[in-house]
Amino acid sequence: MINEDRALLVDLRAALGADRVRAEPLELSLYGRDAGVEVGEAAAVCFPSTADHVAAAVRIVARHDRSFVARGSGTGLAGGATPVGRPVVIVTTHLNSVLEVDEQQRLAWVEPGVLNLDLSRAVRHLDLHYAPDPSSQQACTIGGNVATNAGGPHCLAYGVTAAHILAIDVVLADGSVAALGGIQPDQPGYDLRGCFVGSEGTMGIATRIAVRLTPNPPAVRTLLLDFMSIEDAGATVSGIIAAGIVPAALEMMDAEITRAVEDFVGAGYPRDAAAVLLVELDGLEDGVEAQVDAVRKVGLENHARTVRVATDEAERALLWKGRKSAFGAIARIAPDYYLHDAVVPRTRLVEVLKKVYAIAAEQRLTMMNVFHAGDGNLHPLIVFDAREPGIWERVHEAGDAILRACVDAGGVLSGEHGIGLEKREAMAMVFSPEDLDAQARLRDAFDPSGRANPEKILPRGSRCGELARVPDGAWI
């Protein structure tokens, strides 16, 4: 351990308590990455239990001229919580209280370490829930959802995280505290809350969050449609939206992942289908039944083999368990996976999927696809064994080619996982130098020191006048 680290640890332990600051090799290893593939190294790991602890830790980091990374449960998939440059990792999972619930205004104040699903469980007795539902909702935290502007299957109708965050108390990079947004309908001034949501920890650390709660719908119906071609499934997705129906959720799974999920969960998915659609409709009883009939009609017109409607809550939960267990199911096939996240226009889903399959074939990789079809949010999933010589190069080449195919189709780099380390160098695919410079200046307004989660989102050279590497390897 270098002397600078020793002094830093002494000050952190004095402020937070010796049991809340760790620098043992095991802890440093465990917190050297998130659920993505990038790996880094931390100087120390802190476990604050109060907002004051967070502010104290950040002030000490600033005094020692070091950087910090905020981390929740570590379920992120883009390297957003991976430490770069030996920062202090500040873990917020011990700030896990639902502080206040206002049933009348349908909002709750929560700490960042509250688990996504636990929040809905906490307000279930009020016939309310928190609408954004990432597949990792049993493990991911509200603070992490805010950092990445997380989505989920039910965000097609209800919107991603940003639509459900009203206000945030934030510890800035110098240790000062700012209140962003507010619970009143019309907040004066700039929407700094909107700037912070999705900033991936580069603007500070959330310590208290006001979230919007959504009433539980009177009626819910979940349908499973299966097809013998991806094209028919894609046409059904477009047909449902064209019919004026916006489902609460509209998910697609291809043949490979459907078989893996069925073997893993036993949800009743057809193992011989080329693709399945999971469609959820909610609202008033009569309206939902009319939509069920309309979805069935669109599906059958596009050659759906079967249209199955869950008969009760247990069957509905099992169908969703299959969808939300997709990433766990692939462990039966290979020990490692690389999951991408990009968005394409809904009308070009099938076209891009064909390119994804071609990329996989070219790189001799096993590719599965499970995604939010309603809003064109693709999740190509490459499964592999990292022990195979040369496999990483092929995986990364495939990932880069998939991103390029999505952008070329008019898409964007991420729908919900964020940019992090994984896709920061790809930002130039969709943003001009002027765009990147504007984003860098906004980031600097929150953190002029550059201490908050450095080296994330924006590629080097984003600021005008800053050195940047051009494709031939030279610096300009």
Q: What single string gives the DSSP state of each residue in 180-219?
A: EE-SSSS--S--HHHHHTTSTTSS-EEEEEEEE-EEPPSE
Token pair listed for 202: 């580069």
Q: What are phi and psi of 352, to 5 degrees?
A: -70, -40
282 occurs within a structural domain: yes
Does position 3 have pLDDT exceeding 90, yes or no? Answer: no
Does position 476 have pLDDT exceeding 50, yes or no? Answer: no
**CA geometry: angle 140, 365, 388, nearest 5 deg:** 90
- pLDDT of 333 reads 86
Same domain, 356 and 303: no
Does position 94 have pLDDT exceeding 60, yes or no? Answer: yes
What SS3 state is found at 74? Answer: coil
Q: Which stretch of 76-80, 137-141, 248-252, 468-472 has the lowest confidence by average pLDDT?
A: 468-472
Same domain, 338 and 255: no
Are the CB atoms for 438 and 404 separated by under 8 Å? no
Token pair 């000050």 is found at: 11
- pLDDT of 1 reads 53
Does position 471 have pLDDT exceeding 80, yes or no? Answer: no
Number of domains in the chain: 4
- pLDDT of 187 reads 84
What gap in Å lies between CA 76 and CA 306, rounded to an integer? 35
* Final residue before a domain boundary, out of 277, 301, 327: 327
Q: Look up the domain containing 392 and give its range.
A: 334-408
- pLDDT of 331 reads 80
What gap in Å lies between CA 443 and CA 195, rounded to an integer? 9
Local confidence band at 85 (pLDDT 50, 70, 90 cut-offs): very high
pLDDT tens digits for range 241-295:
999 999 999 999 999 999 999 999 999 999 999 999 999 999 999 999 999 999 9
- pLDDT of 465 reads 57
User: Where in 72-139 does DSSP place strands (E)?
Assistant: 88-91, 98-102, 107-110, 128-129
- pLDDT of 460 reads 84
400 occurs within a structural domain: yes
- Other beta carbons less than 10 A from residue 354's beta carbon: 13
Does position 204 have pLDDT exceeding 70, yes or no? Answer: yes
DSSP secondary structure of 215-262: EPPSEEEEEEEEES-HHHHHHHHHHHHHTT---SEEEEEEHHHHHHHH
Calculate mean pLDDT across residues 3-7.
Answer: 84
Does position 114 have pLDDT exceeding 80, yes or no? Answer: yes
Are the CB atoms for 248 and 278 separated by under 8 Å? no
Are the CB atoms for 158 and 132 separated by under 8 Å? yes
Same domain, 134 and 57: no
Calculate mean pLDDT across residues 101-130.
Answer: 98
Does position 326 have pLDDT exceeding 90, yes or no? Answer: no
Strand partners, 101: 108
* Final residue before a domain boundary, out of 387, 408, 429: 408
Same domain, 350 and 391: yes
Provide the CATH number for the domain around residue 392. Answer: 3.30.70.2740
Same domain, 195 and 289: no
What gap in Å lies between CA 162 and CA 194, rounded to an integer? 7
What SS3 state is found at 80? Answer: coil
291-325 per-residue burial string, b: 16 or more CB within 10 A, e: under 16: bbebbbebbeebebbebbbbeeeebbebbbebbbb
What gap in Å lies between CA 122 and CA 88, rounded to an integer? 32
Calculate mean pLDDT across residues 98-103.
Answer: 98
Does position 100 have pLDDT exceeding 50, yes or no? Answer: yes
- pLDDT of 469 reads 39
Q: Which stretch of 92-101, 164-173, 299-308, 315-324 has the lowest confidence by average pLDDT?
A: 315-324
Does position 473 have pLDDT exceeding 80, yes or no? Answer: no
pLDDT tens digits for range 118-145:
999 999 999 999 999 998 999 999 999 9
Does position 101 have pLDDT exceeding 50, yes or no? Answer: yes
473 occurs within a structural domain: no
Local confidence band at 466 (pLDDT 50, 70, 90 cut-offs): low
Q: Which amino acid is at 91?
A: V
- Which of residues 4 and 407 earns the better pLDDT score? 407
Q: Residues near 272 by Cβ (< 8 Å), separated by ≥ 6?
A: none
Pick the closest to residue 193 from 169, 213, 175, 159 (CA basis): 169
Provide the CATH number for the domain around residue 273. Answer: 3.30.70.2190
pTM of the model: 0.93
Does position 8 have pLDDT exceeding 70, yes or no? Answer: yes
Element (H, E) at 151: none
Same domain, 342 and 356: yes
Q: Which stretch of 140-149, 179-188, 327-336 has the lowest confidence by average pLDDT?
A: 327-336
Q: What is the mean pLDDT of the chain?
A: 94
Same domain, 134 and 227: no
Local confidence band at 2 (pLDDT 50, 70, 90 cut-offs): low
Residues of the chain with pLDDT > 70, as a percent, come to 97
Calculate mean pLDDT across residues 218-234.
Answer: 97
Element (H, E) at 384: strand 380-384
